[in-house]
Amino acid sequence: MSKTNPFPPHKIIGVAVIWDDNQQILIDRRLPQGVMGGLWEFPGGKIEPGETIAECIQREIKEELGIEIAVGEHLITIDHTYTHLRVTLMVHHCRLIKGIPQPIECDEICWVNLDDLDKFTFPQANIQIIAALKQSIKQFK
């Protein structure tokens, strides 16, 4: 007799809000196949054993987009449970240092202004990132 686990798997994800010199943010569209396919997201990925959040974000961005970034200030940590997965998103402001972003492991990439993020469809957990970004910018105005 096999037991089923009533709890979805949990992944800790390092997430980058990558800014360029024009104060635009890099987002990418998930590949159409798979869970949440076709939705836009802030790039990042799963933390590997023994890795810091900053190391994870830098590695994932290099693998997924082919660029080097500087990981900066922590923006927000989000715990969200989908029906199939529980995620903890560790979100950091980042700055593009070197390279031109390429859609290596995503369908498409786009530089957008903060005010334009609402025009894109994101996974539910990412909505809190957008709200935190808007709140943090308000504090500086």
Known binder of ligand: residue 50?
no
Known binder of ligand: residue 120?
no
For every residue of 18-86, DSSP letters joined together read EE-TTS-EEEEEPPSSSTTTT-EE--EEEPPTT--HHHHHHHHHHHHH--EEEEEEEEEEEEEE-SS-E
* One-letter amino acid of 42: F
Known binder of ligand: residue 30?
yes
Known binder of ligand: residue 66?
no
Q: Which residues contact 3 (CB under 8 A, 6 or more apart)?
A: none
Known binder of ligand: residue 126?
yes
Q: Which residues contact 95 (CB under 8 A, 6 or more apart)?
A: 18, 19, 20, 69, 70, 72
Known binder of ligand: residue 105?
no
Known binder of ligand: residue 68?
no
Binding residues for 8-oxo-dGTP: 30, 41-44, 126
List, as residue ranges, the binding site for Mg(2+).
44, 64
Q: Report the binding-site residues.
A: 30, 41-44, 64, 126
